[in-house]
Amino acid sequence: MPNSISIICLATLVICCFSLLLNSHSLFAHAKEADRLSLLAMKSQLQDTLGVTSVTCGHRRQRVTGLDLRHQSVGGVLSPFVGNLNFLRSINLPNNSFRGKIPHEVGNLFRLQNLTLTNNYFLGKILTDLSHCSNLMKFEASNNKLEGEIPVKISNLLMLQILNIAENHLKGQLPASIGNLSALQEIDVRGNRLGGRIPSTISHVRNLISFNVAYNQFSGMIPPIYNISSLQYIFIHTNRFHGSVPLDNGVNLPNLRYFSISGNNLTGSLQDSLSNATNLQGLEINRNLFSGKVSINFSRLQNLSRLNLGENNLGTGTTNDLDFITLLTNCTKLEVLDLHSNRFGGVLPFSLANLSTTMTEIAIGSNQISDTIPDVIANLVNLNALGVESNQLAGTIPLAIGELKSIQILFLNENFLRGTIPSSLGNLTLLTQLILEVNNLQGKIPPSNGNCQNLILLTTRKNKLSGIVPRQLLRIITLSVLLDLSDNLLSGHFPTKVGNLKNLVSLDISSNMFSGEIPTTLGGCTSLEYLGMQDNSFTISIPSTLSSLKSITELDLSRNNLSGHIPQYLENLSFLLFLNMSYNHFEGKVPIEC
């Protein structure tokens, strides 16, 4: 077994007296002369190294067998002298700042078993000479700037178990010769520019555990990987695959844990055979063209934690479309359920409340779901995101929704919800996004909403809300993305507390019944880029404080009862692209630059 000798703060020792590297206490004391000379040639890189740097030497021959410079902020070009360390079995250089090409001398290291170059700035092509490293078991070079094609001669690496060249600039195809790598357990080429069809020879890699070709431009049918029973992870999302999923895919993949095929052009129905993959933890088939009823027996998938069927054509728009949710109640580890943008009809089943208390996200928006939001949804106490937008839901917002104390995102918009906004929403103190727009909500905005002190976005647009805007609402200083109260029946003076919203980017209070002066405190909203106050009854003149809105790009004050002169300072708002002040009672000239 090799021994490892490590030195803390090597850079300090090297800079003070590099000769220490040659004495009996040095990093290289156990390395023979030939290896010491090669390491000396690499000293300029070692001099910049901080932390723990390791050189491993074998006991018997006292030759260098390992270089470990992980997380050391080492930069520069990897020295070609590394190729002289011909007893090297491991080069471990992840998370540094190496640049330039991988020296072809690495191909001389026929004993090399591990070459890890992850998270650097290596460029150029993958070495054809690497095929001489016949004992290589692990090649990881993800997150670099490698380009060109994957060399056909990679098939010479018959001992290779891990191939990870993700997040580079590689193009061309996955070579058919990869089928010769019978020892391969992991293939990760995600995030490149690879295309064409996955070669059928991939089915020969019988020990494969993880197959990741996501975020490329591969096309054709789903690759023939369904007979590789050892597979646990399949990631082929965000490509151009088409066709259907083989009917027996779950039967032949008993060890499958994660199956991600989203973002392709796959068609057909979802088959019950997937329920045979009883170890499945994640199923992501979103952003495809699947259709019909969901026939998977989810009750057998008790390890399932993430189910994403969104953005397909699933469902028939009929009563029983969501019956499969009842089967999901046996999935006691389920955290995410995403069904949005399909054709599911019927009602939200009461079994929704029996889903695991581990649930954190439910997205059922953009379907054809009707009836009401059941009170029992409050049983999902750990829910942090709920989206039922763009459906046909009626009735009132249940008071019990205020019991979802962990919720951060709540989308109820574009339904037929009526009644008032429940004051219990004020209990949702972690809420960051609340969207209630395009419903039939009436009554006043509850002052208790001001308790939601983490809101960054709130919109109640296109309802029938009336009364004044509670000043408590304008004390939510976290509001930054959007506050939209437009198209309601709100009235009275707009509160001066609006000046608290110094980080707000977009404010729309148009098409209401506000009156009185435009609050001078609006000038304190210095981050505003959009301000819509049109279709109200504001009077008097435009306050001079609006000259502080240096970021404003759109300003609409039309259809009010404003008078006086149009302010000269408007021409100094250098980012202003759209200005509408029509249908008021202004006099004088419009500033030339406006």
Confidence at residue 11, expressed as pLDDT on a 0 to 100 scale: 30
Structural contact between residues 451 and 475, judged by C-beta atoms closer than 8 angstroms: no
C-alpha 70/C-alpha 117 separation (Å) is 9
| pLDDT for 509 beyond 80 | yes
C-alpha 133/C-alpha 140 separation (Å) is 14
Confidence at residue 367, expressed as pLDDT on a 0 to 100 scale: 98
Split at pLDDT 50, 70, 90, the class of 300 is: very high
- Residues 330-352 have pLDDT tens digits of 999 999 999 999 999 999 999 99
81 phi and psi angles, rounded to 5 deg: -65, -15
Q: Which amino acid is at 479?
A: L
Q: In the numeric block, which tokens belong to residue 407?
A: 């919720």
Split at pLDDT 50, 70, 90, the class of 63 is: confident
Confidence at residue 449, expressed as pLDDT on a 0 to 100 scale: 96
Mean of pLDDT values over 179-188: 97
Flag whether 203 is in a domain: no
Lowest mean pLDDT: which of 6-10, 199-203, 410-414, 573-577?
6-10
Split at pLDDT 50, 70, 90, the class of 520 is: very high
Sort 326 into a burial class: Cβ within 10 Å, 0-12 / 13-18 / 19+: middle
Q: In the numeric block, which tokens belong to residue 480?
A: 């930054």
Confidence at residue 60, expressed as pLDDT on a 0 to 100 scale: 65
Lowest mean pLDDT: which of 20-34, 40-54, 432-446, 496-510?
20-34
| pLDDT for 62 beyond 70 | no
Flag whether 132 is in a domain: yes
Confidence at residue 32, expressed as pLDDT on a 0 to 100 scale: 53
Mean of pLDDT values over 499-510: 98
Structural contact between residues 186 and 210, judged by C-beta atoms closer than 8 angstroms: yes
Q: In the numeric block, which tokens belong to residue 94?
A: 């992840």
Across the chain, what does the average pLDDT equal? 89
SS3 4: strand
C-alpha 502/C-alpha 547 separation (Å) is 15
| pLDDT for 21 beyond 80 | no
Q: Which amino acid is at 522?
A: L
Structural contact between residues 446 and 425, judged by C-beta atoms closer than 8 angstroms: yes
- Of 57, 56, 50, the C-alpha closest to 10 is 50
C-alpha 346/C-alpha 196 separation (Å) is 41
Split at pLDDT 50, 70, 90, the class of 8 is: very low
- Residues 444-473 have pLDDT tens digits of 999 999 999 999 999 999 999 999 999 999
Flag whether 141 is in a domain: yes
Whose structure tokens read 């018997």? 60
Flag whether 86 is in a domain: yes
| pLDDT for 39 beyond 90 | no
Q: Which amino acid is at 461?
A: R
Confidence at residue 590, expressed as pLDDT on a 0 to 100 scale: 79
Flag whether 73 is in a domain: yes
Give the per-residue SS3 of 405-465: CCCCEEECCCCCCEEECCHHHHHCCCCCEEECCCCEEEECCCHHHHHCCCCCEEECCCCEE
**Percent residues over pLDDT 70 in the chain:** 89
Flag whether 188 is in a domain: no
Task: Note down the domain range covering 130.
Answer: 28-147
Split at pLDDT 50, 70, 90, the class of 40 is: low
Mean of pLDDT values over 62-73: 86
Structural contact between residues 213 and 193, judged by C-beta atoms closer than 8 angstroms: no
**Percent residues over pLDDT 90 in the chain:** 80
Flag whether 313 is in a domain: no
Count of structural domains, the chain: 1
Confidence at residue 5, expressed as pLDDT on a 0 to 100 scale: 28
The residues pairing with 88 across neighbouring beta strands, listed in sequence order, are none
Mean of pLDDT values over 272-289: 94
Tally of CB atoms within 10 A around 16: 9
Report how far apart, in Å, the C-alpha atoms of 293 and of each of 126, 316, 320, 323 are: 46, 7, 9, 10
Flag whether 315 is in a domain: no
Q: What is the DSSP letter of 44?
A: H
Mean of pLDDT values over 158-177: 97
Confidence at residue 391, expressed as pLDDT on a 0 to 100 scale: 98
Q: In the numeric block, which tokens belong to residue 295?
A: 């026939």
| Between 47 and 531, residue with greater pLDDT | 531
* pTM of the model as a whole: 0.88
| pLDDT for 35 beyond 70 | no
Lowest mean pLDDT: which of 168-177, 361-370, 583-592?
583-592
| pLDDT for 296 beyond 50 | yes
Report how far apart, in Å, the C-alpha atoms of 14 and of each of 31, 49, 70 are: 17, 10, 18
| pLDDT for 198 beyond 60 | yes
Mean of pLDDT values over 353-361: 95
Question: Given strand 585-587, what is the order of strands in its sheet?
Answer: 418-420, 440-443, 464-467, 489-493, 513-517, 537-540, 561-565, 585-587
Report how far apart, in Å, the C-alpha atoms of 286 and of each of 132, 266, 275, 340, 577 are: 42, 10, 18, 9, 38
- Residues 92-150 have pLDDT tens digits of 999 999 999 999 999 999 999 999 999 999 999 998 888 889 999 999 999 999 999 99
Q: Which amino acid is at 41?
A: A
Report how far apart, in Å, the C-alpha atoms of 102 and of each of 107, 146, 190, 215, 525 are: 10, 9, 21, 25, 53
Split at pLDDT 50, 70, 90, the class of 51 is: very low
Confidence at residue 355, expressed as pLDDT on a 0 to 100 scale: 95
Confidence at residue 588, expressed as pLDDT on a 0 to 100 scale: 82
SS3 222: coil
Confidence at residue 232, expressed as pLDDT on a 0 to 100 scale: 97
Helices (H) and strands (E) in the chain, counts: 4, 45
- Of 491, 483, 498, the C-alpha closest to 467 is 491
CATH of the domain at 90: 3.80.10.10
Split at pLDDT 50, 70, 90, the class of 594 is: low
Structural contact between residues 561 and 539, judged by C-beta atoms closer than 8 angstroms: yes
